[in-house]
Amino acid sequence: MQEFINQFFDVGFMLDHFDEVLEGFWVNLQLFAIAAVIALLWGLVLALLRQIPGRPAKPIRGLTIAYIDVFRAVPLLILILAFGLGIPSLDFLPKALRLPQWFGKPDSFWLGCLALVVTYGAYMAEVYRAGIEAIPGGQMEAARSLGMSHFQSMRNVIVPQAVRKVPAPMLNELIALLKDTTLVSVIALNEVIQTATDIQTKTFNSSALTLGSLMFLVIILPLARVVDRMIARNQSRVTRGSHIEVA
Amino acid sequence: MAEAMVKLSGIQKSFGALEVLKGVNLEVAKGEVVCILGPSGSGKSTLLRCVNLLEPPEQGEIFLEGHDICKGPGSGTGEQSWELNFVRQRVGMVFQQFNLFPHKTVVENVTMAPREVLGKSREEAEAKAKELLERVGLGDKFDQYPERLSGGQQQRVAIARALAMEPRVMLFDEVTSALDPELVKEVLDTMRELAEEGMTMLVVTHEIGFAREVGDQVVFMDGGVIVEQGKPAAVLDDPREERTKQFLGLVLER
């Protein structure tokens, strides 16, 4: 038991390596922030493509559904490995795309980011879809009968209401995304897990991994409470009989 | 008679195996108010929704001011074709459930389509909205959100919203059916004023009194066809068809 505690919960060891681990965690936060912004937009684009009506748009809907299904099914870890190891060897691409080093970040950062966006875009598209489908059909009918096009109706009527319905499930996706940034360690990005396992290899002590976990806890635990509060607030609005919140 | 504002001929529409409209013919002159009565499932709402192509008919022709609106490119598919813009800018519709946009204020509800579709400036659209909202008696509700309004007020905003597109024809689909009884009158009064100003109106309703007083023509539908039509007094007080008598008996009994 003592050995276990020394191995994982050596507080002095944690303090000694705090700066190093925090530096790694900072990479996770940056990766998260960039991937989250892009995935939130990409997911909305996918959700909207899926909703285009009419027969001519059928191929677009089909491709979108195929994309969403495939990238929710492929394990993210495989995708990170495939992008991280595969894209640099596509020699027909210009070097700036094969081995992107934008803003002083290594290519593993950007290729990992791409894998996260591809996967989480698909997840988030489904969250938006649930929001869009929760809007009563009469809203679209009213908008269309006023002469607005499908796109105008989506932009002015449906999407603004749908996005007000999704913050709680979307925050769950964002929490999962934050944790999944650690998977990019498999293509040698110096983020928190990579840093901690390096320390572990050198010192035979795993407490740096525990410290990394604690950093996730500090960020995520308050967010979980925020989700609870959002759901509770939504619930009380539903029971009051109003189906949408207004400013 | 002058050219009909709306002319329906042989309108047929099915939902799957269910044939909802079995060849309906109807002519509405400019400025005329046609009230459509009938039991639920008779096809009266579907007929109304055919006129602005929310439900494109499978067979038959619809003429709007003499234009055949089912014959454009991509006709009958009901999507993104020229006739949709043509039709929807000329035909306003008001729904049973109001369908106001809950995330927008009253004035934003009314100005959205004129700004988006007609390209009006904010000032222009708001000036028109103010005029229309005052006309329906809601000049003081400008910046309210719909959820703060009563059902009757919401429905009057919906009427103002449709009028903001300056339609030639207005469709009313059971617009008082979702209202508390004491709120029905304010909406019917608004509609009556609109009729007096010469608006062409197709009104699906269960309000026999309104049909008698305001209607120029009453149409009784059942089973996807028009069973009887004519002057309100003729159809309502002296129906020829057994089915009409039966229905009116049940409705007036309440």
- CATH code: domain of residue A15: 1.10.3720.10
- Closest Cβ–Cβ partner in B102, B113, B147 for A148: B113
Residue B11, pLDDT above cutoff 80:
yes
- Closest Cβ–Cβ partner in B77, B88, B92 for A54: B77
Q: What percent of chain B has pLDDT over 90?
A: 63
Question: Which two three-digit tokens encode residue A133?
Answer: 């489908």
Element (H, E) at A15: helix A11-16
Enumerate the residues of chain A whose CB falls inside 8 A of the CB of residue B162: 145-146
In the A/B pair of chains, how many CB contacts fall below 8 A?
Answer: 77
Binning pLDDT at 50, 70 and 90, where does residue A61 land?
Answer: very high
Nearest Cα neighbor of B91 from B54, B128, B120 is B54
Q: Pick the residue from chain B with its C-alpha nearest to A141.
A: B54
Question: Residue B78 has what pLDDT?
Answer: 46
- Phi and psi for B36 in degrees, rounded to 5? -110, 120
Which 46-105 residues of chain A touch chain B by CB within 8 A? 53-56
Contact by Cβ (8 Å): A118, B136: no
Interface test with B, best of A135, A144, A145, A161 (most B CBs within 10 A): A145
Contact by Cβ (8 Å): B21, B46: yes
Enumerate the residues of chain B whose CB falls inside 8 A of the CB of residue A136: 97, 99
State how far the Cα of A244 lies from the Cα of A234, in Å rounded to an integer: 9
Could you give the 3-state DSSP secondary structure of residue B23?
strand
Nearest Cα neighbor of B158 from B115, B97, B199 is B97
Could you give the 3-state DSSP secondary structure of residue B104?
coil
Instruction: Give the N- to C-terminal CA distance of chain A in Å, as an integer.
Output: 55
Question: Residue A143 has what pLDDT?
Answer: 95
> Is A12 at the interface with chain B, CB within 8 A?
no
Which residues, at least 6 apart from B172, have a Cβ–Cβ distance to it below 8 Å? B93, B94, B191, B201, B202, B203, B204, B205
State how far the Cα of A148 lies from the Cα of A125, in Å rounded to an integer: 24
Enumerate the residues of chain B whose CB falls inside 8 A of the CB of residue A147: 85, 88-89, 113, 117, 165
Q: What is the pLDDT of residues A21-54, one digit of tens each?
A: 898 899 999 999 999 999 999 999 999 999 988 8
> Residues B9-37: what's their mean pLDDT?
91
What's the mean per-residue pLDDT of chain A?
88
Question: Which two three-digit tokens encode residue B9?
Answer: 């001929």
| Residue A121 identity (one-letter amino acid) | G
| Residue A116 identity (one-letter amino acid) | L
> Residues A180-198: what's their mean pLDDT?
89
Residue A117, pLDDT above cutoff 80:
yes
Could you give the 3-state DSSP secondary structure of residue B221?
strand
- DSSP assignment of A191-246 equals SHHHHHHHHHHHHS--HHHHHHHHHHHHHHHHHHHHHHHHHHHHHHHHHTT-SS--
Q: What percent of chain B has pLDDT over 70?
A: 93
Binning pLDDT at 50, 70 and 90, where does residue A235 land?
Answer: low
Instruction: Give the N- to C-terminal CA distance of chain B in Å, as an integer.
Output: 38
Q: What is the pLDDT of residues A125-167, one digit of tens each?
A: 999 999 999 999 999 999 999 999 888 999 999 999 999 889 8
* Residue A126 domain boundaries: 2-246
> Residues A2-17: what's their mean pLDDT?
84
Number of domains in chain A: 1
**B195 vs B86, residue with greater confidence:** B195
**Alpha-helix runs per DSSP H in chain B:** 44-51, 82-88, 106-117, 122-135, 151-163, 181-196, 208-214, 232, 242-253
Question: Which two three-digit tokens encode residue B55?
Answer: 């439900």
Residue B198: how many CA atoms within 13 Å on its side-chain side?
2
Q: B26 has which bridge partners?
A: B8
Could you give the 3-state DSSP secondary structure of residue B145?
coil
Contact B95 A141 (CB under 8 A): yes
Residue A198, pLDDT above cutoff 60:
yes
> Is A242 at the interface with chain B, CB within 8 A?
yes
Contact by Cβ (8 Å): B42, B222: yes
Residue B152: how many CA atoms within 13 Å on its side-chain side?
15
Which residues, at least 6 apart from B215, have a Cβ–Cβ distance to it below 8 Å? B33, B34, B35, B203, B232
Reported residue count of chain B is 254
Which residues, at least 6 apart from A214, have a Cβ–Cβ distance to it below 8 Å? none
Binning pLDDT at 50, 70 and 90, where does residue A63 land?
Answer: very high
Residue B77, pLDDT above cutoff 90:
no
Q: What is the pLDDT of residues B196-251, one digit of tens each?
A: 999 999 999 999 999 999 999 999 999 999 999 999 989 998 889 989 998 998 88
> Residues B34-61: what's their mean pLDDT?
90
State how far the Cα of B187 lies from the Cα of B254, in Å rounded to an integer: 21
Residue B80, pLDDT above cutoff 80:
no
> Residues B178-197: what's their mean pLDDT?
91
Contact by Cβ (8 Å): A188, A198: no
Nearest Cα neighbor of A214 from A6, A14, A3, A1 is A14
CB atoms inside a 10 Å sphere around CB A184: 29
Contact by Cβ (8 Å): B136, B159: yes
Q: What percent of chain A has pLDDT over 70?
A: 94
